[in-house]
Amino acid sequence: MSPPYTRVRRKLLEDHPVVSRSKSAMIGSTLFFAALIPGNTALAQDATGDEAAARDEIIVTARKFEEGIQDAPLTVQAYDEQAIRSAGISETADFIQLTSNVTLAESQSISTSFLTVRGLTQVRNGEIPVAVVVDGVLQFNNRQFVGQLFDVEQIEVVKGPQGALYGRNATGGAIIISTKKPGDEREGYVAFGIGSGDEVSAEGSFSTPLIEDKLYFKASGRIVNREGYFDNITLNEKDDPYFDRALRGRLLWTPTDDLTVDLIGNYTRHNGRGIGFQFGVESADDASKPFESNNEDRGERQTNGLSLRIKKDFGWGTLTSVSSYDYISTLTRADQFPYTMLANGVGDGAPFGDGTQSQFTDIEGFSQEIRLTSPTNRRFLWEVGGYYLDWERFISSTTGLDNGGGVRRIERTPFFDADTNPTTTFFADDNDNRAWAVFGQLSYNFTDQMELNIAARYDEEERDQSVSPLQRSGIDGVGEPGTEKSQTFDKFSPKVTLRYTPAPNLNIYGSWGQGFRSGQFNQDGVAAVAQREGIEGVNDIVDQEDSESFEIGFKSDFFNDRLRLNGAWFDTTVEGQQYFVFIGGVGAQVLINIDEVDINGFEAEAIWRATDNLDLYASYGRTDAEIVAYTTDPTQVGNTAPYVPDETFNAGFQWTSGLGSLPLDLVARLDYERRGEQFWSPENEFPRSPLDLVNVRVAVQDAEGVWELAGEVNNLTDEEYNSEFVIPAFSHKANPRVVRAGLRYNF
């Protein structure tokens, strides 16, 4: 009996022993769905009739081996290079906005945003609820997530627990980003853009072989400079400037057919907004409050990264080594108004003299992963591996006296006795952390129609905290300088998946899995501060978050692959869900645990090629997240968990047409997103009403694909809303309508 390949992999493997992203594997409608929408690539614009309708799947790697997206027994939405360009995806929030049951609350600085996936949420100073993998390297800190996207080949958004494969923090899924590799041909592109807020941008990439068929080089970069969208009426200047620079260099060496060495370096620098909150709005829907602090609100982030991937194919298996080094530094400096308005009653007309605030983080980490995988063209597939991560983090949170001299840059040393902006409180600690894991998976195809996959991983994480001897809480008896703490978190995370394909165009699957999000330390002394403020349930050690999930889903294609219908149901129980509390008067940032949250919901997706020129899509996600147990306040049992929209709805179309006898194509696209009602705290006070957001993009491109002139509008209807709301009345405005135009030239 021949090996039971899946319907897509069978065809690809017959032509190619190792599945590749070659042109032959992307024939037909692959090019169309890429220009389209969640989870798909696009049909070639020049294909017609049945040839256009017949498509091969986009290839995904969510299970760490290649398979067609419709054959993968999990919920994954993918965007390939053409889809990324057609949808105008240039930063993290752009593809999140297209993905059902996934939302991103962009707040404060570039390193402080909050992702929610199927009811699993990220909180301030907490870990992101998904594994983020960029070019095969697992990011280890949430401050790396949001940023510019350029020269990207593919993005995969995987939903559901992935802890068995990716480990710590992958309770909600995984986001896999692959940038374009250099190749045998010398090629590249340049792009320039302008936009609202006096924005200018430039982007480019250049790739060339250094030694034919052996050594390749690529350099890519993007820069965005924007004055800002919002005015500070006190300073009479923009409150939210944005200046972001990102560079990436890559060397790819293939000395033999069975050995690949891939070296990637990343460099980013960002200057922009630091805090951006206002106080005193009437509701979570009220976005009318002006910015009026008397000090500039500024944030910085810098990252440096270096990764090395080595793959050696022995025939009977492939050994992969992934080594990485990352450095991340962030700093925010701002007026303490409006936070002290809550504590001290500072009036709207007199923000001067209320205080200042700042926060600094300095993070450095090294990781190493080694895994051995079987060949993919077998009935029985296997993988074993190990992972090690060592990282250090220093964090300081500071308040100071505002005496008119601006806000000092405070990193590791406070200025208690300074004449200008003297420090009043200083919470600071070093964290020395180590994590290791072993993992593996077995996949067996009983028949051509049925596959069983069993994966498991054991993670252990040790965290040590050393409180700065310079710490000063400003409250007698709160916080002890020089305190040493240590805590270990661990979890065995299994996952079992069964796939059944009763027909070539139908895939039915079910899975059960567990995962965890690591615990951590609050800054020393904030628990005592919380108790003095009347907030119970705050401890110096934040417990880990454990989850158990079930999923049942199907994937199907009809009418010669012109219509795609996918759906999934999920049920997740979370113990110790991490939640954030802010005590503005003293600058204390605190994590607590909600004892148990039950989450269930479903997703449905439809994609239809109505004509050779018109493509339509719609997807709907529903999530119910109920608090089942909450020691801090049992009266909130039965309420909805914070940061979870009850529903999301995405719909849109893309229309492609030639321009008469001219060798030009017109591509018009509209994307609509609806986010349902969302609560920001367990109390379920101040909900944000449902949002309706519309983005449009129109592009003219030459028939050979050499150049493109495009215009786009995000938030077409200029919806005014808050991207985040923190109890009792701190609001953060979302961006207004943004108009952009850009020109791209490929060479």
User: What's the pLDDT tens digit per position in 244-262?
Assistant: 999 999 999 999 999 999 9
CATH number of the domain bearing residue 322 = 2.40.170.20
pLDDT at 299 over 60: yes
**Do the Cβ atoms of 668 and 615 come closer than 8 Å?**
no
* Residue 12 pLDDT class (50, 70, 90 cuts): very low
The pLDDT score that the predictor gives to residue 17 is: 33
Q: Are strands 520-521 and 152-159 parallel, antiparallel or unpaired?
A: unpaired
* Residue 465 pLDDT class (50, 70, 90 cuts): very high
* Residue 726 pLDDT class (50, 70, 90 cuts): confident
What's the rounded Cα separation, in Å, for the pair 417 and 422?
Answer: 6
pLDDT at 602 over 60: yes
The pLDDT score that the predictor gives to residue 587 is: 53
Average pLDDT of the segment spanning 371-376: 94
pLDDT at 586 over 60: no
The pLDDT score that the predictor gives to residue 552 is: 98
Average pLDDT of the segment spanning 558-568: 95
pLDDT, tens digit, for every residue of 605-637? 999 999 999 999 999 999 999 999 998 889 999
Closest CA to 670 of 693, 648, 647: 693
* Residue 583 pLDDT class (50, 70, 90 cuts): low
Closest CA to 513 of 12, 96, 119, 170: 170
More confident residue, 584 or 10: 584
Average pLDDT of the segment spanning 316-328: 97
**Do the Cβ atoms of 696 and 669 come closer than 8 Å?**
yes
Looking at 30-34, 154-158, 318-322, 519-523, which range is the least confident one?
30-34
pLDDT, tens digit, for every residue of 251-297? 999 999 999 999 999 999 999 999 888 888 889 999 998 898 889 99
More confident residue, 406 or 21: 406
Q: Among 45-54, 104-113, 526-535, 738-747, which range has the highest average pLDDT?
A: 738-747
pLDDT, tens digit, for every residue of 120-145? 998 877 788 999 999 999 999 989 99
Let me know if residue 94 belongs to a domain. no
Q: What is the DSSP secondary structure assignment for residue 616, as one 8-state letter? A: E
Let me know if residue 433 belongs to a domain. yes
pLDDT at 34 over 70: no
Closest CA to 562 of 608, 507, 504: 608
What's the rounded Cα separation, in Å, for the pair 196 and 735?
Answer: 11
The pLDDT score that the predictor gives to residue 473 is: 80
Looking at 24-28, 372-376, 625-629, which range is the least confident one?
24-28
The pLDDT score that the predictor gives to residue 538 is: 79
Q: Which residue has the tokens 């479903």?
A: 602
Let me know if residue 83 belongs to a domain. no
Let me know if residue 178 belongs to a domain. no
What's the rounded Cα separation, in Å, for the pair 10 and 110?
Answer: 44
Domain with 383 in it = 189-746
Let me know if residue 26 belongs to a domain. no
pLDDT, tens digit, for every residue of 643-675? 999 999 999 999 999 988 899 999 999 999 999
What's the rounded Cα separation, in Å, for the pair 341 and 347?
Answer: 7
pLDDT, tens digit, for every residue of 389-400? 999 999 999 999
Percent over 90 (pLDDT), the chain: 72
The pLDDT score that the predictor gives to residue 45 is: 34
Provide the whole-model pTM.
0.89
pLDDT, tens digit, for every residue of 38-94? 333 333 333 334 444 444 578 999 999 899 999 999 999 999 998 999 999 999 999
Let me know if residue 197 belongs to a domain. yes
Average pLDDT of the segment spanning 225-238: 94
Mean pLDDT of the chain: 88
Let me know if residue 150 belongs to a domain. no
For the chain, give me the number of helices (H) and strands (E)?
Answer: 8, 39
The pLDDT score that the predictor gives to residue 532 is: 76
Q: Which residues of 277-308 are buried (b: 16+ CB within 10 A; e: fewer)?
A: bbbebeebbbbebebbbbbbbbbbbebebbbb
Average pLDDT of the segment spanning 318-326: 97
As for how many domains the chain has, the answer is 1
pLDDT at 14 over 80: no
The pLDDT score that the predictor gives to residue 344 is: 56
Q: What is the DSSP secondary structure assignment for residue 315, as one 8-state letter? A: S
* Residue 211 pLDDT class (50, 70, 90 cuts): very high
**Which tokens in the block code for residue 10?**
């069978």
Let me know if residue 60 belongs to a domain. no
Q: Are strands 277-279 and 614-629 parallel, antiparallel or unpaired?
A: unpaired
